[in-house]
């Protein structure tokens, strides 16, 4: 019962938000500006294609991720034998590996960012809205965590609890929410002074409703921009973990895993490095273009 009510409330809030966004010509302007930015739009299209490949491409290949082709071990890319991207040193098809790797890398990028986003937004908005001593204490805690050497922390986490993919999500996410919290807090502080918040308060809205309906929609801009930068950063963090032997493990694979393996045979089998590295680089470019485009679109004076 309570659950249903909560769901309904959430729904209402969402609808209200959508209406609020629609009503603001600011967002329409931003959308127009974004669509006019060629680099950003190219980024969106290419990223869409990569995501599409990550979903459907593995099933287009005659091979699966578990198949070992004993006749073609470490074979270069070829159209004839169906190994369009060649095979790796165990005879697995690189085309399948690359796109499964894309799937895992993108999911890691998105999921870790989602974790960081949820923690960071709630934490930052609360601190900023409540203000005063609470804000001070909460932000001091963030300062403390900032002093933790992040990669070291992740390495210890992963060695302690084993190399589980969900743990990788959590570990990276838990570490990356700090900046998010700072951004959201800063924005909340400035929004809080605005008249419409006063008006909402005067009309009897509770703090949760005010944060949800009025504060958050107004901090969306910088948060979106930061998210588009955080996703590629986290994909890279995973690849560093893979290089150190602490990333995702068999039978899963990721671009980071493929790249660090490929780097060992750059002279004898360059395709093992070049293909996943190129995919990773293109994805990084896309996210950065999109991020730039969004920032320009949402912050007109910066154009």
Residues found near other proteins in the complex (CB under 8 A) = 66-68, 70, 73-74, 89-92, 140, 143-144, 146-152, 155-157, 159-160, 162-163, 179, 232, 236, 239-240, 243-245, 249-251, 256, 259-261, 263-269, 273, 277, 280-282, 284-285, 288, 302
Token pair of 88, please? 């790796």
Residue with smaller CB distance to other proteins, 213 or 249: 249
The rounded distance, in Å, linking the Cα atoms of 50 and 44 is 10
Does a cis peptide bond (omega within 30 degrees of 0) precede residue 251?
yes
- Tell the smallest beta-carbon distance from residue 267 to other proteins (Å): 6
Q: How far is the CB of 277 from other proteins (least distance, A)?
A: 6
Radius of gyration of the chain (CA): 23
The residue among 10 and 137 lying less far from other proteins, judged by its C-beta, is: 137
| Nearer to other proteins among residue 87 and residue 218 (C-beta) | 87
Q: C-beta of 41: minimal distance to other proteins in Å?
A: 17
φ and ψ at residue 93, rounded to 5 degrees:
-75, 125
Q: Looking at beta carbons only, is 78 or 264 nearer to other proteins?
A: 264
Whether the CB-CB separation of 303 and 296 falls below 8 Å is answered with: yes
Name the minimum Å distance from CB 57 to other proteins: 21
Between 17 and 69, whose beta carbon lies closer to other proteins?
69
Q: What DSSP state is assigned to residue 215? A: I
95 vs 61: CA distance, rounded Å: 7
Nearest residue to 127 (alpha-carbon basis) of 171, 89, 80, 182: 182
State in angstroms the smallest separation of the CB of 19 from other proteins: 34
Q: How far is the CB of 105 from other proteins (least distance, A)?
A: 12
Burial of 290: CB neighbours in 10 Å, binned 0-12, 13-18, 19+: buried
Q: Which residue's CB is nearer to other proteins, number 27 or number 243?
A: 243
Q: What one-character-per-residue DSSP string does 6-42 give? A: HHHHHHHHHHHHHHHHHH-HHHHHHHHHHHH-HHHHH
Give the integer Cα–Cα distance in Å for 253 and 247. Answer: 9
> C-beta of 203: minimal distance to other proteins in Å?
35
| Interior angle at CA 37, CA 34 and CA 42, nearest 5 | 105
Q: How far is the CB of 191 from other proteins (least distance, A)?
A: 20
For other proteins, the closer of residues 120 and 232 by Cβ is 232
Range list of H helices, the chain: 2-23, 25-36, 38-60, 94-130, 132-146, 150-161, 165-192, 195-202, 207-210, 216-243, 255-262, 271-298
Nearer to other proteins, 10 or 281 (CB): 281
């Amino acid at each position: 019962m309570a659950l249903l009510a909560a769901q309904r409330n959430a729904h209402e809030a969402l609808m209200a938000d959508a209406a609020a966004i629609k009503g603001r010509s600011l967002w329409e302007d931003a959308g127009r500006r974004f669509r006019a930015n060629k680099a950003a739009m190219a980024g969106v299209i290419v990223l869409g294609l990569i995501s599409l490949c990550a979903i459907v491409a593995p099933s287009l290949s005659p091979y699966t991720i578990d198949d070992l082709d004993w006749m073609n071990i470490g074979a270069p890319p070829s159209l004839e034998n169906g190994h369009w991207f060649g095979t790796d040193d165990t005879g697995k098809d690189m085309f399948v590996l690359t796109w499964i790797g894309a799937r895992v890398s993108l999911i890691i990028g998105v999921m870790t960012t989602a974790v960081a986003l949820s923690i960071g937004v709630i934490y930052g908005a609360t601190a900023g809205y409540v203000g005063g001593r609470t804000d001070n204490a909460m932000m001091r805690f963030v300062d403390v965590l900032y002093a933790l050497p992040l990669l070291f922390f992740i390495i210890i986490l992963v060695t302690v609890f084993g190399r589980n993919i969900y743990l990788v999500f959590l570990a990276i996410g838990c570490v990356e929410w700090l900046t998010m919290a700072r951004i959201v807090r800063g924005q909340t502080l400035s929004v809080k002074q605005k008249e419409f918040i006063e008006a909402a308060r005067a009309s009897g809205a509770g703090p949760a409703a005010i944060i949800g309906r009025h504060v958050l929609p107004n901090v969306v801009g910088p948060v979106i921009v930061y998210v588009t930068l955080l996703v590629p950063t986290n994909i890279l963090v995973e690849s560093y973990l893979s290089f150190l032997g602490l990333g995702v493990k068999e039978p899963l694979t990721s671009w980071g895993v493929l790249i660090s393996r490929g780097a060992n045979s750059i002279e004898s089998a360059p395709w093992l490095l070049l293909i996943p590295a190129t995919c990773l680089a293109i994805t990084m470019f896309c996210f950065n273009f999109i991020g730039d485009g969004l920032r320009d679109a949402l912050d007109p004076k910066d154009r």
